Amino acid sequence: MNEKKKKKTEKSSQYEFYIKYERPEEYAKDPNEFYIAKRVNEYSQSKALMRIQEKITKRALEIARIEPPARVLDLGMGCGFASTHMFLNKFQIVGIDLNFLFLTYYEIHHLNPIQSDMRDLGFRLGSFDLILSISAIQWVLAEKNEKRRVNHLKKIADQCNLILKPKGKIIFQFYPKSDTSMHEIGKIFNSTGQFNGNFVIDNPDNPKKRKIFLYLEKK
């Protein structure tokens, strides 16, 4: 582990969150509303975003301590930056996204892309060794109605439990708006009684550079 990289694993804590601009998930009803053709093109052509996604994916796999040829489900795969990195490193990949434009921007049939909602997964029991999501779950956390938000998160937690193999792993990298929002998803997964795990937080004392991962293992 690079000693220059500060990291912390916490069960409960209070962090300062640096929110300079309103985020897309705060004013768009869902990703399809925000990611119209122009934005999909901008996102998919961005070399900077590709590098960021690859870096985060590498870190997520490092935290999860999982090796190829593990079978991985990428929730919210977008145009396939994270999935492509894993595919090139010999993982077996299936990816889902709500937005059909993302799934057809590049020729990514080898990544097994499926247009689907992470709140409504329909895979067979015990299909995956790892469920990974990079920068996507905050769209669910942004739901303003608490009852609907909690219901959505419970559905995701229950379905992740069903489609993971025994000892299967989950890792969500996301950008919560607040400490409360960050811990809400952890509490809901914990309430199922089916997972062990915690948050791994890189650069915890730097709100601009902080990266938050929820890492869980199925019991």
Interstrand relation of 195-202 and 7-10 (parallel, antiparallel or unpaired)? antiparallel
- pLDDT tens for 161-180 read 999 999 999 999 999 988 89
Q: Tell me: the pLDDT tens digits for 126-156? A: 999 999 999 999 999 999 999 999 999 999 9
Task: Note whether residue 2 is domain-resident.
Answer: no
The CATH number that applies at residue 149 is 3.40.50.150
* Domains identified in the chain, total number: 1
Q: Residue 21 corresponds to which tokens in the numbers above?
A: 């601009």
In a domain, 103, yes or no: yes
CA distances from 199 to 20, 50, 94, 218 (A): 24, 24, 25, 15
Does residue 1 belong to any structural domain of this protein? no
Tell me if 104 is assigned to some domain. Answer: yes
pTM of the model: 0.90
- Domain span at 91: 7-218
